[in-house]
Amino acid sequence: MPRWVLHVDMDQFIAAVEVLRRPELAGLPVVVGGRGDPTERAVVSTASYEARVFGVRSGMPLRTALKRCPEAVFLPVDKPAYDAASAVVMDTLRAVPGAVVEVLGWDEAFVGITVEDPDDVAHRIQRDVLAATDLHCSVGIGDTKVRAKIATEFGKPRGTFRLTRETWTEVMGDKPTQELWGVGSRISQRLATLGILTVTDLATAEDALLATEFGPQSGPWLRELGQGEGASEVDDTPWVPRAHGRETTYQRDLATPDEVAGAVRSLAEQVVEDITAEGRACARVHLKVRFVPFFTVNRSRKLAEPTSDPQVIARTALDLYERLDDARPVRLLGVRAEMVPPDGGYDAPRTHGRRGMP
């Protein structure tokens, strides 16, 4: 029997969980983000379909969402509630006979299954998830992860869609490259400069051309993506976090070095709590800074040796900030600790100068 990949994606997951808890919101535009106050600095985590009609999208500032949809109901993020609902969904998928489940996030997973008719399994999954959670999902069916993932968009909401090697060109060939999973606006713009506008253009492009623009690995990978090819094996190995990070959007800009330093130290302490719970030390420190009005910079540094000392992590992050030599007020800071791999492997950087900087 053939081996299939199913991509299960919960419909408007976060908003749907909130509506379950507040049935009176059913059918209304609902926006979830931050502390639920659209006058504060925060972004949209998710929006119900009713809110999306007005152009509200994930990642959008709440203030922008309010302008686009003044009548929307704004709610705060409640991570424990979403964790709990997600756990029930994933357990339900694992209960499907013969299923191998690869969790991708709160609201989506790949399911590997060997059956003659994958549509029957897709419909069973929808019924089982609905019965267990009162939440709806869409299911994409494919012979690779890429095709299954893309197929889901054609099935939304509450539907299924099958996309295979035989139907790929018919369904996707004339679509712009940005419709592909993994191709964002920047990559699609770079492809356009090469005369590659559609999925078929990408699927038939020369490897040498793509390799020159994107590198010897990424270039051929993009062509493979244009053909819908890629991995088809679903891996149920438990996901191991690579890093833990904390970030805060400040309601009042941080205007002085002392304010920035205090905020970085606070974030570093929170991150250390997270990595300590993992039992793994920090190997690389990442810093994210968003200056006023909305200019974002990311920097990172590998440590000379792994550590769980919040002072070392904070000092490293602050040094990265100071090296930016930018006096503009700060509206967002983030500190992330990339941890030593679970196998304990670590190659210390070669150092230069008195600071031991890589």
Domain of 208, CATH number, reads 1.10.150.20
Q: Is the pLDDT of residue 354 over 80?
A: no
- Phi and psi for 99 in degrees, rounded to 5? -80, 140
Residues 202 and 312 in one domain: no
Regarding whether 182 and 116 lie in a shared domain, the answer is no
Residue 25 sits in the same domain as residue 81: yes
Residue 233 belongs to some domain of the structure: no
DSSP characters over 130-173: HHHHS--EEEEEESSHHHHHHHHHHHTTT-EEEE-TTTHHHHHT
Residue 84 has a pLDDT of: 97
> Does one domain contain both 156 and 36?
yes
Structural domain includes residue 348: no
Is the pLDDT confidence value at 324 over 90? Answer: yes
Mean pLDDT of 180-187: 93
Q: Is residue 234 part of a domain?
A: no
Domain of residue 300, CATH code: 3.30.1490.100
Contact at 8 Å (CB) between 151 and 142?
yes
44 and 132 together in one domain: yes
* 134 and 35 co-located in one domain: yes
pLDDT tops 50 at residue 353:
no
The pTM of this model reads: 0.83
Q: Is residue 344 part of a domain?
A: no
Q: What is the average pLDDT value for the chain, to the nearest integer?
A: 94
User: With contact defined as beta carbons under 8 Å apart, do 268 and 313 qualify?
Assistant: yes
Helix-strand-coil split of the chain, %, nearest 5: 40, 25, 35
The verdict on residue 354 lying in a domain is no
pLDDT in tens, 103-148: 999 999 999 999 999 999 999 999 999 999 999 999 999 999 999 9
Q: Answer yes or no: is 347 within a domain.
A: no
Residue range 185-195, pLDDT digits in tens = 999 999 999 99
- Reported confidence tier of residue 240, pLDDT bands at 50, 70, 90: confident
Say which residues have a Cβ less than 8 Å from residue 211's Cβ, sequence separation at least 6. 219, 220
pLDDT value for 347 = 61
- Please, are residues 334 and 295 in contact by the beta-carbon 8 Å criterion? no
Instruction: Please give the Cα distance from 12 to 47 (Å, whole number).
Output: 7
Query: Among 226, 251, 275, which residue terminates a domain?
Result: 226
Give the confidence band of 238 by pLDDT, cuts at 50, 70, 90: confident
Please check whether residues 259 and 158 belong to one and the same domain.
no
Q: How many domains is the chain partitioned into structurally?
A: 3
For every residue of 339-356, DSSP letters joined together read EPPTT----PPP-BTTTT
**Side-chain-side CA neighbours of residue 87 (13 Å):** 6
309: domain range? 243-339
Please answer whether residues 290 and 332 qualify as being in contact, where contact means their C-beta atoms are separated by less than 8 angstroms. yes
325 and 273 in a common domain: yes
Rounded CA gap, 103 and 101, in Å?
Answer: 6
Cis peptide before 80 (omega within 30 of 0): no
Whether 152 and 190 share a structural domain: no
For residue 358 the two structure tokens come to 């890589």
Widest pairwise Cα distance in the chain? 65
Question: What are the beta bridge partners of residue 73?
Answer: 30
221 & 93 share domain: no
Residues 145 and 181 grouped into a single domain: no
Does the structure show a pLDDT above 80 at 32?
Answer: yes
Mean predicted confidence (pLDDT) in 19-46: 95
Report the catalytic residues. 108
Query: Which pLDDT value is given to residue 299?
Result: 97
User: Does any domain span residue 149?
Assistant: yes
Q: What is the CATH classification number for the domain harbouring 68?
A: 3.30.70.270
Domain boundary among 138, 162, 186: 162
Q: Is residue 237 part of a domain?
A: no
- Mark whether 208 and 273 lie in a shared domain: no
Q: Which of 133, 162, 191 is the last residue of a domain?
A: 162
